[in-house]
Chain A
Amino acid sequence: MTQAEIKLCSLLLQEHFGEIVEKIGVHLIRTGSQPLRVIAHDTGTSLDQVKKALCVLIQHNLVIYQVHKRGVVEYEAQCSRVLRMLRYPRYIYTAKTLYSDTGELIVEELLLNGKMTMSAVVKKVADRLTETMEDGKTMDYAEVSNTFVRLADTHFVQRCPFVPATENSDPGPPPPAPTLVINEKDMYLVPKLSLIGKGKRRRSSDEDATGEPKAKRPKHTADNKEPIPDDGIYWQANLDRFHQHFRDQGIVSAVANRMDQIFRSLPVGYNISKQVLDQYLTLLADDPLEFVGKSGDSGGGMYVINLHKALGSLATATLESVVQERFGSRCARIFRLVLQKKHLEQKQVEDFAMIPAKEAKDMLYKMLSENFISLQEIPKTPDHAPSRTFYLYTVNILSAARMLLHRCYKSIANLIERRQFETKENKRLLEKSQRVEAIIASMQATGAEEAQLQEIEEMITAPERQQLETLKRNVNKLDASEIQVDETIFLLESYIESTMKRQ
């Protein structure tokens, strides 16, 4: 794992799980597989803290464990899985677009808790939905269950590996850690549950400020006493399936853009008929993007979507646009030229791009120094004398993609750090405004006069308000940038993965 990735993981873990989990997590990412005692010793944290942290990490599928010989259990962190945390909002939003609010909340609960049983998810989501509904209305468990089943059928949620049931009682001592198994066909099997019930609305008298325990809350409510029907069957969000969806979305939107162009170039008044569709497909197949390939004429021609090529095109487009935004349109022109012609000499670049030599040189070296373009040597003579060697500029898409990906990780780390810095700077002000809001809310609940509310609001002066506004704007901008960079990361990672698989 590169330094940039480790730094990013550290920031993510710290933001979502606190410093202790971060310390343990980062240590495991750096050092690989280690047993409990060694972790505690190397990080200098108490054994209890390490245990707590490991429980959290395992629950969230960020760390796995393995039993080695002599009963030693070793823990290993999954760096790439930690980086997925950046994408949580996108997964949840996708679920919303596909399965509406119910789906959204199911996926959200699964992501927030790592893994849950179906009954727990259904209950929690029903409660949450009921909160948002009008008074008197409740959400039925059956509806939530249905959505859950649909999510499982389309593979967006999957079962976690489980402890295999041992038929014969173990003669020796139980193993220090269970070995979890799962096979393909079980992964999406929904247990037969009859969940009957409705969501419960939280009564206002129970509402306390968060974090403070309720007095004399009964320790064991009725729910705990009932046997859970699907005990031991846990579900988690299937991130790969979401990734497939994103990838398809990306390709579809790229093609749609293309179709738009083609469509606009056709005369107005065309009504789409089967023939025209055929023509469209032929156009697409001939299109230099090479998204669609024609393979055979059976059934009127079979069209195949060439996924690898599609991903390659998307990655290339990303690179082009980065060059354009960073270096300007002339550089972009040179870049596209070299991309198209594969290998070009210095002279040829100047000629084809129609850019004066000095500028062309300057731009080429700028791009070279940032590793978008690379130099390829082709010796004319066996002794590789420099005066008799060709030096060609070329774009190696794979390595350029890797370089850009690495930069993306750094960018996000910087964005997160800046956001944390901004928030810390204004911590006092933020707390003050939160307190004021809380006071206003409680006063409104008890029915206060307008004048009193006015007075409380004035506790925050105008320049302070200004400062808060600026802070909010900045934080929003930084957050939105993070989301944007993550989309680029997804594209590049998909391309790199697809390329590595083919080799």
Chain B
Amino acid sequence: MSQHFLEEERNVKVTDKWADLPPQLLQDWPGELTNGKLWEADLERHRLEEDQQISSWLRLGLRVGEGQQVFLIGSLNTQAPSTMASRGGGRGRGRGQLTFNMEAVGIGKGDALPPPTLQPSPLFPPLEFRPVPLPSGEEGEYVLALKQELRGAMRQLPYFIRPAVPKRDVERYSDKYQMSGPLDNAIDWNPDWRRLPRELKIRVRKLQKERTTILLPKRPPKTTEDKEETIQKLETLEKKEEEVTSEEDEEKEEEEEKEEEEEEEYDEEEHEEETDYIMSYFDNGEDFGGDSDDNMDEAIY
């Protein structure tokens, strides 16, 4: 009997009345229905209960003869609740007693039983039969190619969020020429904000020092809606650790927020124009010479 059923359930939560008992002891338990751990399989347990077929996966432990252990795994019917009670009564009365009729199940007297399994089944059990060949042919090939293509395509879409590149210890000159990711952590694509909860919108933020140079004229009187919006923005500002909004800066920042969102376009272009060189032409030369580390049979000229 293989115990690989047990092996599969190892990931499963275990509600264990006898959790502190060493496993060896559990094997010596007199033959009883629930002689071991009561595996609470979150393996669709609730669905199985709906079925009214199985209340839980149980492990039968038997003692056969002396020193030999047989483990039989089966599912029991909840229609036999009284069996539990009757078996409880037989506990400890005699070690040779079994929970069911051996002959009926098919183990004759004196039959050689398979050796006990004392460890989990091997990770890669030997394959007895060759697997069926995979579908080949036009349809199979096409769907396969599609799958691989889709995988590649999805990595390139803006929905694929890469973790932020960790900042290097020293600021490097080449950093100016490499645009990595969208500005200020915002997302690359434009969802329809009317369909999404407002809290999900990330306000694009500019660094404080860039803004101080922008002198702002007086803004027209705000409507009530604007006030709400700006209060909302202030709340989101408060959440950001970088910025501490003080009472004096409140008004200035409100104005700057409004200004900045309108001027976003301008600022981005300006940022792009900061460098005189076309970004894509820059090659920081890090890849040069670092490739062929192996098999240095040929001399490098």
Contact = CB atoms under 8 A, between A and B. Distances in A.
B215 to A, nearest CB: 24
Nearest to B190: A224
Q: Give the top 3 A-B pairs by smallest Cβ distance, nearest first.
A: A177-B197, A386-B100, A346-B106
A271 B268 CA distance: 75
Nearest to B188: A52
Given A93-B139, A215-B272, A346-B106, A374 B74 contact: yes
A211 interface: yes
B161 interface: yes
B228 interface: yes
Interface string B94-123: 000011110011110000000000000000
Contact of A391 (B51, B101, B228): B101
A406 B43 contact: yes
A18 B197 contact: no
Interface in B192-229: 192, 194-202, 228
Nearest to A108: B150
Given A18-B162, A219-B268, A389-B104, A480 B187 contact: no
Given A51-B202, A177-B198, A384 B144 contact: no
A233 B104 CA distance: 67
A377 B44 contact: no
Given A173-B228, A369-B73, A480-B144, A112 B153 contact: yes
A442 B168 CA distance: 32
A476 interface: yes
A174 to B, nearest CB: 8
B65 interface: no
Contact of B191 (A21, A55, A387): A55
Interface residues of A, number: 106
Interface string A197-234: 00000000000111111111001100000000000101
15 contacts: A15-B154, A36-B199, A52-B161, A112-B150, A327-B128, A357-B106, A370-B5, A375-B76, A382-B82, A384-B83, A384-B86, A387-B101, A398-B51, A399-B53, A402-B44
B278 A215 contact: yes
A386 B99 CA distance: 6
A81 interface: no
A357 B201 CA distance: 70
Contacts of A370: 5
A391 B132 CA distance: 34
Given A17-B154, A178-B194, 14 more contacts: A2-B43, A112-B150, A177-B198, A215-B278, A215-B279, A215-B280, A325-B132, A369-B2, A369-B73, A377-B77, A379-B80, A383-B82, A483-B144, A483-B147
B183 to A, nearest CB: 11
A365 B153 CA distance: 48
A93 B200 contact: no
Interface string B1-33: 110110010011000000000000000000000
B163 interface: yes
A318 interface: no
Contacts of B68: none
Nearest to A104: B146
Contacts of B106: 346-347, 357, 360-361, 364
Given A20-B163, A369-B1, A377 B269 contact: no
Nearest to B157: A112
A345 B106 CA distance: 9
Interface string B40-83: 00111001101101100000000000000000111111001011
Contact of A21 (B5, B161, B239): B161
A413 B72 CA distance: 29
Interface residues of B, number: 86
Nearest to A219: B265
B140 to A, nearest CB: 6
Contacts of B129: 325-328
B80 A377 contact: yes
Contacts of B77: 376-377
| Main secondary structure on A side of the interface with B | helix
Contacts of B244: none
B196 to A, nearest CB: 6
A481 interface: yes
Contacts of B161: 17-18, 20-21, 49, 52-53, 56
B147 A368 contact: no
A503 B47 CA distance: 12
B198 A176 contact: yes
Interface in A465-499: 475-477, 479-484
A375 B12 contact: no
Interface stretch (A84-92, A258-266, A291-299, A333-341): A84-92
Contacts of B285: none
A163 B179 contact: no
Interface string B144-168: 1011101101111101111100000
Contact of A180 (B100, B139, B147, B195): B195
A432 interface: yes
B170 interface: no
A48 interface: yes
Contacts of A176: 197-199
Contacts of A302: none
B192 A390 contact: no
Interface stretch (A58-66, A137-145, A147-155, A185-193): A58-66
Contacts of A366: 2
A21 B161 CA distance: 7
A214 B163 contact: no
B289 interface: no
A47 interface: yes
Contacts of A2: 42-44
A491 B82 CA distance: 38
Contacts of A52: 161, 185, 187, 202
B243 interface: no
B197 A386 contact: no
Given A389-B101, A477-B134, A178 B195 contact: yes
Contacts of A361: 106-107
Given A3-B11, A215-B278, A346 B104 contact: yes
B265 A220 contact: yes
A177 to B, nearest CB: 3
A16 interface: yes
Contacts of A216: 272-273, 278
Interface in A245-263: none
A282 interface: no
A384 B12 contact: no
Nearest to A403: B43
Contacts of B200: 36, 51, 54-55, 58
A173 B227 CA distance: 11
